Amino acid sequence: MEKYKFSQVNPNRWSEEEKVLRHNYHCVHHHTGLSHPLCYNRENGIEERKACLDIEAGGLNADFDIMLSWVIKTSGKGEYLYDYLTKEDLNSASYDKRIMGTLMEALWNYDRIVTHYGSAWRFDIPFIRARYLWLKARGLYKGKPFPEYGMMWSSDTFAMAKRCLKIASRRQDAVANVILGKDIKTRIDKDYWLAVKYGTPKQRIAAIKYIVDHNLKDAEQLDGNYLTLLPFVREVRSCV
């Protein structure tokens, strides 16, 4: 397994060195760090690295549209990673292959991906996976791979809200209004999304700027919702 895939918390991504360290450790229950991984993690200060992920796309289906931008906020921290289509990307007929590469580079630094209506059969993760496979099948993408089953875990604040809140809407902004008392999302302005495809170079630049700002605010609000809901649910190791 390549070094960039290593994780201290996910058994599917333990390095050989990690396995040896866990094998040689014994907790108060007389178990090793392999059989009692939580004891080992607690004693060694090891925590999951969580990525609050949000993408913006030109449409809802990955075989008819592409990713416009992505944002990752490290959960509980003021750390943001992001990328977006540039003028060169839009003019080169390379679709979203460059930002797919930067997204995969960023994702492998985490153990869990947090989304809102973005896991399983929903939107963000299936859209990214489909774009990754589309680009790869056409020989356009040769970067780091999309995580295979079991390599990363996922949490979805839509499902978390559905499980523990009785509210009229489980949209991200509606959930934020209830549990945080405010909604910081900007509105989806269709003119900007259309301008990326059909606008003049000047209109495209303005559109991407608006979309990236929207994307960043989504990720910020996603983390706020996630951290507020987390004490009220049992977080499981659902696989990406």
Give the strand order in the sheet containing 50-57: 80-84, 67-74, 50-57, 112-115, 153-156, 238-239
Strands 153-156 and 67-74: unpaired
> How sure is the predictor about 187, in pLDDT bands with cuts at 50, 70 and 90?
confident
CA separation for the pair 176, 15 (Å, rounded): 39
Statement: residue 185 has pLDDT above 90: no
25's CB contacts (< 8 A; 6+ apart) are 32, 33, 40, 43
Q: Could you read off the pLDDT of 91-125 as tens digits, one per residue?
A: 888 999 999 999 999 999 999 999 999 998 999 99
What percent of the chain shows pLDDT beyond 70? 100
Q: Which domains does the chain have, with CATH numbers?
A: 3-43 (no CATH), 50-239 (3.30.420.10)
What percent of the chain shows pLDDT beyond 90? 95
Determine the average pLDDT of the residues in 57-67. Answer: 97
Burial code of 174-205, b = ≥16 C-beta within 10 A, e = fewer? ebbebbeeebeeeeeeeebbebbeeeeeeebb
What is the pLDDT at residue 98?
Answer: 98
Q: Could you read off the pLDDT of 25-52 as tens digits, one per residue?
A: 999 999 999 999 999 999 999 999 999 9
